[in-house]
Each structure stands twice: as C-alpha cells, then as structure tokens.
Amino acid sequence: MKLTEEQLKTFDELGYLYLPGCFNAEEVARLKAAAQDVFSEQREEIWREKNGVPRTAFACHKYNQTCNALVGDHRLVEPLEQLFGEQVYVHQFKINAKAAFTGEVWQWHQDFPTWHKDDGMPEPRAMNIAIFLDDVMPINGPLMIVPKSHKHGALQSSHDQQTTSYPLWTLDNDTVTKLVENNGIVTPTGKAGGVLMFHANIVHGSAGNITPYPRRIVYLTLSALSNAITNPTRPEFIAHTDFTPVTSASDGMDQQCLAALSS
Amino acid sequence: MKLTEEQLKTFDELGYLYLPGCFNAEEVARLKAAAQDVFSEQREEIWREKNGVPRTAFACHKYNQTCNALVGDHRLVEPLEQLFGEQVYVHQFKINAKAAFTGEVWQWHQDFPTWHKDDGMPEPRAMNIAIFLDDVMPINGPLMIVPKSHKHGALQSSHDQQTTSYPLWTLDNDTVTKLVENNGIVTPTGKAGGVLMFHANIVHGSAGNITPYPRRIVYLTLSALSNAITNPTRPEFIAHTDFTPVTSASDGMDQQCLAALSS
C-alpha cells in the first residue's frame, strides 16, 4: 500500500497522517481478541499501571499469532519503506491498553530521544504506525499531537521515571507551551480500524482515561534497516536486536485500504 | 434572569443546561484576574494537587471582592430560585483550577451524596452553577456528564480519599458503565463566559489536563433555604453554615444573557 504524493506532502508538513478505515471490522475483532489474550497473561513483557492494570504489552508478536501476522502487513510496512526509501526492521511492537477508568497519562514526548538515548538509535529514521483497536474519541484519552513539531528535531528532554510506570524522556512545560502556541494540538480520532503514523520527532502525549471506553492501540515501530540500534540498554523485548528486514505481505484488503487512502 | 419553559424541560430531562456567552469578555477578564490573585495566596482554604499546584480555592468570595460580587449575580441566582421555587443560600463557593499540565482527575461522582453524608444536607435541593473562566475544550479536561443520570437518585458511593487530594464520595465502575451504556457521555465545551448548571444527582467527572491550557471554573453551589445542612463535618469554608438568603442583583448584562438564552 503506497501513500499518494499528497499524503507524503501532508506527512512532511504536519508530521503525522491519519488513515481511517484501513482495517475492517473482522480484522479489528481478531486483533481485539488477540489483545484480550495477551493482556490476560502474566509475563515480564506486560507492564502495568501503578494500580496493577495492564498498560503496555511489549513484543506480543513473539508469542501471539495474530499479532505476529500483523507485523508484515503491507498497510503498515509499505508506507514506511516508501518514506525511508529502504527496507525496514521491527524496532518495537506493543499494544497500549489505555484501560477504561484507569488508563494513565503519557507525558509530552518525542519518540526518537528515547530510542536514541536508551537504545543507541542513530537517526530519526524509524516511526510508529498505529492501529486503533477501539473507537478513539475525544473523551477516552486520544493521542494529542502538536502538528509540525517534528521540524524542530530532537528537543531537550529529561528522564521521567516518576509520573507513570514507564520511564520516558519527556519535554518540559515551557517547550510544549511554545510549540502549542504556534501550532495548537490535534487529536486524531476515529473508528476502530483506523491507522495513524507519526514522525519520530513529533511531540505527542495523552491524558488519562476515566471513561468506561477502553482505548487500545497497537503500535508497530519500524526502523530503516540502515538505522539499526547500536547500544541497547533496555530489555530485548522493548528494543529488538534482530535486524532482519520485514517482508511485506498483502492479505487481500488492498481495495478497502486504497479506498480509505483516496478519500 | 429566568429560564424558558423549554430550558426547564431540557434541564429536567437531561439534568444539565449549558448557557454559552452569559458573561462577557470584560467580566471574564475581571474574574480571571481575581482567580489569579486568589491562587497566589497561601491559605488553608486553597487545596492543592499532590504536586503542590492549586486545585481548588474554597470560599474566596469571603476575601476577594470580585468573587464576592459574583455571589448575587442574577444570572446565577435566579435560575436556581426558579427551579427550587424559593430563596437560596450559598452552600459552597469555589474556583477549580484544573491547571495546565498538572490538573488532576475528578473521579465519577454525584454532588449530593457528599453534601448529604458529609454536611447533613437533607435533600438534593441544591445545585452547582459554573462559570467558565477559560475556553473549555475537549482536550483540557472538560466536565464529563452522563445525561439523565440524575433520574436514578443518590446512587451507592464510597469515600475516595486516595485518588486525589480532595476526599469525595465516588461511584464504582460498574455503576458508571451501566449508566453510560444507556445514555453516553457529554462534555459541554465552549468559550470562557459560558455558564453550566447541573443537577445535584447528575453523574459527572473530569480527566486530568496535560495541555498548556488551564481550565478554570468558578462553582457557586446554591441550596434552597429550606434545605439547610444539619450536620456539617467539613470546615466552614467548604460547607457554609450562614443560611442568609442571597439577594439577586442585576449588573446590567441582562440583554446579553437573554440573547444567549434564546439562541
């Protein structure tokens, strides 16, 4: 699945691209069932909120078949190959739960500084591409993005190990305030099955979720093959060191996705 | 300022009423300056988030002239006199800060159970009427309301003294889930100067605010005179025991407000 010229331009300008309806209801149902299986396990790869509710399931593509099948999906792989102009490998695979009632905040951050400082990733030639497993609404902790913030490169960040259970290199309030003053905040919302891709240096975060609506998202982080990490300090299940290129596989959903892309 | 028959009907049916543009820009500016003065003080009436940032300033109408002038405002007093069919007194006056970046959650609750259990208020013949001091947006922790939930009366609640710095009688997740399944969640949003009134038994809450946009709201809680509290256990600045009826005063803003009301 290739992005159009216009989509490439939008991505370059804004730093993100939201593609509604890329996965159909049946696929979403399969992925939700997989997420439920994954989150019911007791494993070290599943990180929890401070109250014990699952927050993130890392590397579940290693032990869950449905998740594994998603890794090579052409709707996720090809746009990133296109952007990087080369093959990609899996840097990280995770499901973020943002559980109903208890899903906690993700503080304002860029992804690349964490990948760079904690994993030794050379350049921001990697990216998150996300699949919405639930309807993402304004009320259930949608991702908040500061458009165009990726143009500032890697901003100064500090290591937040206090706010949540997940250590993260986060931005200070003054930096976020200035960026937001210039370009505001967008919250790409939409039905389950939508796909959201965003630049490694885009500034983003999300508030807690107090609603009865869970907001599960699968994040596939793909890196350009030439951008393999050099100094991983985090567990292998968080920063993979298998640099085998991903083989893109079509599953016959092309028509649906192309329709979404041309709309 | 009187509510129309249609507004009374809407309030009865849904349990809340949002009146945009009731206070003009100059009034909002005065109130915001007052809020800034209030929150800069070090007083026992100002409760703070766990990180020290102000969360709620109680009873600031006792020491801040602008807040004091607001108490009798006809736009706030007359609708409640109309609904209760009698004069009202001030049960509580506060400014909730929901500070930029750090404003914490208010868990799902009804107001009346706290007033009843902690203050000995006989009946849900009291109500919050709120003035937005900042633009309330989907992203900066707007009040979430479950429409029609007031029809269930006072629901079973338990005393949450852990989640935030402010003890509150909160609802369990199953109860909220069932109510939301039936009637969803609304988030009245709008420009600073809007007024929101909601039934003492409406189920509501709000998520944290991680944006650079503060979301300050003044809450005036007025109770029917015949509904005076009988057994206050909280400090006087949280549950007042001066049952003098409020005298409604017009400040000449009638036309603006009537226009907003009839739109």
Q: Tell me what pLDDT residue B78 has.
A: 96
Whether residue A99 contacts residue A49, with contact meaning beta carbons closer than 8 Å, is answered with yes
* Stronger pLDDT, A55 or B145, i.e. the higher one: B145
pLDDT digits (tens, 9 = 90+) for A239-256: 999 999 999 887 644 444
pLDDT digits (tens, 9 = 90+) for B31-65: 999 999 999 999 999 998 888 889 999 999 999 99
Whether residue A187 contacts residue A143, with contact meaning beta carbons closer than 8 Å, is answered with yes
End-to-end CA distance of chain B: 15
Q: Is A66 on the interface with B (CB under 8 A)?
A: no
Residue A89 to residue A98: CA distance in whole angstroms = 26
CATH number at residue B134: 2.60.120.620
Go through A155-194 and write b for each residue having 16 or more CB atoms within 10 A of its CB, e for each that does not. bebeebeeebebebbbbeeebbbebbeebebbbbbbebbb
**Is there a contact between A187 and B139 if contact means CB atoms under 8 Å apart?**
yes
Number of domains, chain B: 1
The answer, yes or no, to whether residue A257 has pLDDT greater than 50, is no
The answer, yes or no, to whether residue B258 has pLDDT greater than 80, is no
The answer, yes or no, to whether residue B254 has pLDDT greater than 50, is no
Q: Tell me what pLDDT residue A251 has.
A: 60
- What's the average model confidence in pLDDT over A62-75? 95
Whether residue B1 contacts residue B17, with contact meaning beta carbons closer than 8 Å, is answered with no
Cα-based angle B185, B17, B22 (whole degrees, multiple of 5): 125
A115 backbone φψ class: left, alpha, beta (φ>0; ψ -120 to 50): alpha
Task: Work out the number of other CB atoms within 10 angstroms of the CB of residue B117.
Answer: 15
- Which chain B residue lies closest to A146 (C-alpha atoms)? B211
**Residue A56, beta-bridge partner list:** A47, A96
Q: Which structural domain, as residue segments, surrounds residue B111?
A: 5-262
The answer, yes or no, to whether residue A155 has pLDDT greater than 80, is yes
- Beta strands B203-206 and B144-146, pairing class: antiparallel
pTM score: 0.91
Strand, coil or helix: B55:
strand
Q: How confident is the model at residue B167 (pLDDT cuts 50, 70, 90)?
A: confident
The answer, yes or no, to whether residue A5 has pLDDT greater than 60, is yes
**Is there a contact between B211 and A101 if contact means CB atoms under 8 Å apart?**
no
Among residues B167, B180, B186, the alpha carbon closest in space to that of B55 is found at B167
DSSP H helices, chain B, are 5-14, 25-39, 65-70, 74-84, 111-119, 173-183, 254-262
Interface pTM, i.e. ipTM:
0.90
**Is there a contact between B107 and A210 if contact means CB atoms under 8 Å apart?**
yes
Strand, coil or helix: A260:
helix
Whole-number percent of chain A with pLDDT over 70: 95
pLDDT digits (tens, 9 = 90+) for A108-139: 999 999 999 999 999 999 999 999 999 999 99
Q: Tell me what pLDDT residue B253 has.
A: 42
- What's the average model confidence in pLDDT over A37-55? 91
pLDDT digits (tens, 9 = 90+) for B60-116: 999 999 999 999 999 999 999 999 999 999 999 999 999 999 999 999 999 999 999
Q: Tokens for B131, please give them.
A: 């003035």
Cβ neighbors of A12 (< 8 A, separation 6 or more) are none
From residue A65, give the alpha-carbon distance in Å to each of A31, A33, A193, A219. 10, 11, 19, 16
Q: Is A180 on the interface with B (CB under 8 A)?
A: yes
For chain A positions 2-61, those within 8 Å of chain B (CB to CB) are: none
DSSP state of B155: P
Whole-number percent of chain B with pLDDT over 70: 95
- What's the average model confidence in pLDDT over A22-37? 96
